[in-house]
């Protein structure tokens, strides 16, 4: 069954985002009387709050990637050292 839906929508576009084209906000019926400018500013304020002060797509810091890679390399070195120690002990 198809129903007709009449909703007021605020469409916020972010052309600089690598991941997202736009965000759609569906306005509650009790606030549909507000002007477009007021609704748009409320929507952008909510986006800034959600993005931690920025309206751009959040990126993972490189420092976290390096920590993961360094931990993996350290684990591999320790594993190789342990294997070498066990192998030398068995050969004696």
pLDDT tens string 2-45: 565 677 887 877 767 788 888 888 888 888 888 888 888 888 88
What percent of the chain clears pLDDT 70, i.e. is strictly above it? Answer: 78
pTM: 0.45
Identify the H or E element spanning 13.
strand 9-13
Residue-level pLDDT at 21: 83
Q: Which residues of 40-57 are buried (b: 16+ CB within 10 A; e: fewer)?
A: eeebbeebeeeeeeeeee
Query: What are the boundaries of each domain within the chain?
Result: 1-59, 61-92
């Amino acid at each position: 069954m198809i129903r007709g839906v009449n909703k007021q929508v605020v469409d916020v576009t972010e052309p600089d985002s690598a991941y997202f084209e736009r965000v759609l906000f569906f306005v509650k019926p009790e606030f549909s009387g507000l002007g477009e400018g007021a609704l748009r500013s409320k929507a952008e304020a909510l986006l800034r709050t959600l993005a931690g002060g920025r309206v751009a797509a959040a990126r993972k810091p490189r420092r976290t990637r390096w920590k993961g890679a360094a931990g993996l390399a350290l684990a591999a070195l320790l594993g190789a050292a342990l294997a070498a120690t066990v192998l030398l002990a068995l050969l004696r």
